[in-house]
Chain A
Amino acid sequence: MQYVMLVRVDPDLAGTVEIDDVEPWVEEGSRTGMRREGRPVDEPATATTVRVRDGEVLLSDGPFAETKEIVAGYDLLEAPDLGTAVDYASRHPVARIGALEIREVWNDFVPDREGGLPPTRTEGRDYLFLHVPDPAVYRSIAPEGLDPTEWVRRVEDKGVTLGGARLREADDGTAASVRARDGEVLVSRGPFAELAEQIAGVDLVRAADLDEALALAAAHPTSTIGAIEVRPFPA
């Protein structure tokens, strides 16, 4: 199974609790083959949120919402089951100052491209897109109602995608959230009561600058039924 692990940091705790270096955790993942890739994103103050309403692109400065635990990076995990992924995640140092949100990748959502991928751009800045659809709208329409396949093909043609994943809904038993507080590991499964809006997918793009990244986000169907949070990776 593939899982996207969203690394979330609670800014209040980050200022008060000292945490260990992440390197040993990364090394463990490389050794066991459990961690495929992962990168930290830049601070939330560098985020831009994109919405499209009635054909008009609406931008706002900052992350999608002032949720308590802000996304600080992602990792792609490969594990036989959710329990194994949770066990590995529980040793991540950020568990003490935030949460590791583990979400199963919905692998067959966008069919694989026939005939291989065009080459990816070598120059540019990398951005993480966090797809945050409005929960009510998201549940009221069939998945094909916001089929991103056409968008994915377009970014593949342009050579600006570095990958992406649609995530299974967090409340169907495929997801978990891991925290460590006072030396105790806390795992919550199933519905994330604290999150009204769920991240429904992630995309990694390589754009010339923020304008191009925002234009790519505005062209994605999620921006019309919710928002896309655009986060730069540190240069």
Chain B
Amino acid sequence: MSTGDALARAFADEWGRVVASLVRTTGDWSLAEDAAQEAFAAAATAWERDGVPRRPGAWLTTVARNRALDRLRRGAVERSVLAEQAAAMEEGGDVDPIEPDDVPDDRLRLIFTCCHPALALEARVALTLRTLCGLTVEEIAHALGASEAATAKRLVRARQKIQRAGVPYRVPSGAALPERLGGVLAVLYLLFTEGYAPSSGAAVVRPDLSAEAIRLATVLARLMPDEPEVLGLLALLRFQDSRRAARTGPAGELVPLDEQDRGRWSPESIRAGEEALAAAERRTAEPGFHLRQARIAALHARARESGRVDRAAVAEEYAALRRLSASPHLALAHAVAVGLADGPDAGLAMLEDLPPGPLGATLPAARADLLRRAGRTAAAADAYRAALVLARTGPERAFLARRLAEVGG
């Protein structure tokens, strides 16, 4: 392995762990990130010169910790509280390399703190990408379609709030855990969908964020191996990601699920999804929100082998999901599933009751699709036109325009 590859791999595997450990020992988020950054910069030189160390993680943790210590010493005169912490860190006389096994994995605390509900949702996403994934401010700004200045400010504010308002650095226990875990999973899912289907802009797929979300979900599943919802989310992301290559056409246009070339779905991703799904189902008899969605994604993924989707089963899963959440998006998906299982008219009737506001273009687009399937082309064309007015991304608009042309509008 080249030094560059080793560094890239160490970055993916160790960044979050190094930062998490330093946040715990120093209580200072900026210091932790800066020290981690310095350790990786030092690795680039040292590994090139001396070769890649046997335990890259241990090497990075040790260097980062020493850098943090140096900074605390330098600032010790005016920062007496941190100086005490520096002294406490020194007590162990830690000049020897730290073995990763000796250091508790603090990433779980870091995940829960980054995704704390007292932080604004955008701040949770940005903080997770910065501290857990090690993305730079520039990368985060680009990925989220925000300016660098706004992203930097958001990160500074979030760190300040954590420290000054006393957001705890720990995994919630007892009754608070399920709700807080739900919040963490929502952030990971949002990360994935921002990578998979950005809310604005031209490109259909931003691969980096989806990959980061899968990586974080995998880490979370390892750290909380008995949580069916974590495994459910991981399975869901794997199934959705398996369709990545088939999801866009040669000109970057959106290809709907039932027109995708199933041969281009990734069997490795589907296998990983099935594994996580089976593990989740072994752990609960009452599937939660993410596990139910993973089951729906699995029903679609299995069509790669069988050539057909069990539409009735999909509609049933959506009915069960709607008992768990009142989201209008879910109600829309349920109506579409019923339309595909029991005929377009059954689905169209269910769409009648939905609120138009929060659904945007998806409501007229769903209506148009069911009308098209029912052979009512004139009504379908009207609905496609209504959807086009509301569509926000380029690929979405291109898809709707193509459909409109197909129904002769």
Residues in chain A within 8 A of chain B (CB atoms): 42-43, 45-48, 59-62, 125, 207-211, 213-214, 232, 234-235
Asked whether, in the complex, the Cβ of A232 is within 8 Å of the Cβ of B160, the reply is no
Asked whether, in the complex, the Cβ of B118 is within 8 Å of the Cβ of A214, the reply is yes
* In the bound complex, CA of A45 to CA of B164 (Å): 10
14 contacts between A and B (CB under 8 A): A46-B160, A47-B165, A59-B117, A59-B118, A61-B120, A61-B123, A61-B161, A208-B168, A209-B168, A210-B165, A210-B167, A211-B168, A211-B172, A213-B166
Q: Which of A210, A213, A214 has the most chain B CB atoms closer than 10 A to its own CB?
A: A210
What is the minimal beta-carbon distance from A187 to any residue of chain B, in angstroms?
34
Asked whether, in the complex, the Cβ of A235 is within 8 Å of the Cβ of B123, the reply is no
What is the minimal beta-carbon distance from B161 to any residue of chain A, in angstroms?
5
Which B residues lie within 8 Å of A47 (CB)?
Answer: 165
> Would A125 and B166 be within 8 Å (CB), given that A62-B120, A210-B118 are in contact?
yes
What is the minimal beta-carbon distance from A165 to any residue of chain B, in angstroms?
23
Which B residues lie within 8 Å of A125 (CB)?
Answer: 166
* In the bound complex, CA of A47 to CA of B160 (Å): 11
Which B residues lie within 8 Å of A235 (CB)?
Answer: 164
Asked whether, in the complex, the Cβ of B118 is within 8 Å of the Cβ of A61, the reply is yes
* In the bound complex, CA of A232 to CA of B160 (Å): 12
Which single residue of chain B is at the shortest CB-CB distance from A45? B157
Beyond contacts A214-B118, A232-B165: 14 other A-B pairs, Cβ-Cβ < 8 A, are: A42-B164, A42-B165, A43-B164, A45-B157, A46-B165, A59-B118, A61-B161, A125-B166, A208-B168, A209-B168, A210-B165, A211-B176, A213-B166, A234-B164
* In the bound complex, CA of A48 to CA of B165 (Å): 9
* In the bound complex, CA of A125 to CA of B160 (Å): 15
* In the bound complex, CA of A213 to CA of B166 (Å): 9
> What 1/0 flags go to B105-135 for Cβ under 8 Å of A?
0000000000001111001000000000000
**Residues in B148-178 with C-beta less than 8 Å from chain A:** 157, 160-161, 164-168, 172, 176
* In the bound complex, CA of A71 to CA of B161 (Å): 17
Interface residue range, chain B = 10 to 19
* In the bound complex, CA of A48 to CA of B120 (Å): 10
What is the minimal beta-carbon distance from B152 to any residue of chain A, in angstroms?
15
Asked whether, in the complex, the Cβ of A45 is within 8 Å of the Cβ of B118, the reply is no
What is the minimal beta-carbon distance from B180 to any residue of chain A, in angstroms?
9
Which A residues lie within 8 Å of B120 (CB)?
Answer: 60-62
Which single residue of chain A is at the shortest CB-CB distance from B156? A45
Asked whether, in the complex, the Cβ of A61 is within 8 Å of the Cβ of B119, the reply is yes
* In the bound complex, CA of A60 to CA of B165 (Å): 14
Which B residues lie within 8 Å of A48 (CB)?
Answer: 118, 165
* In the bound complex, CA of A61 to CA of B160 (Å): 13
What is the minimal beta-carbon distance from B331 to any residue of chain A, in angstroms?
19
* In the bound complex, CA of A42 to CA of B157 (Å): 13
Shortest 4 CB-CB contacts between residues of A and residues of B: A61-B120, A209-B168, A48-B118, A46-B165
What is the minimal beta-carbon distance from B26 to any residue of chain A, in angstroms?
16
What is the minimal beta-carbon distance from A40 to any residue of chain B, in angstroms?
13
What is the minimal beta-carbon distance from B382 to any residue of chain A, in angstroms?
38
Point out the residue from A60, A62, A209, A234 that lies within 8 Å of B167, measured CB to CB: A209
* In the bound complex, CA of A80 to CA of B141 (Å): 57
* In the bound complex, CA of A21 to CA of B327 (Å): 52
Asked whether, in the complex, the Cβ of A46 is within 8 Å of the Cβ of B164, the reply is yes
Which single residue of chain A is at the shortest CB-CB distance from B118? A48
Which single residue of chain B is at the shortest CB-CB distance from A42? B164
What is the minimal beta-carbon distance from A150 to any residue of chain B, in angstroms?
20
What is the minimal beta-carbon distance from B100 to any residue of chain A, in angstroms?
28
Which B residues lie within 8 Å of A60 (CB)?
Answer: 120
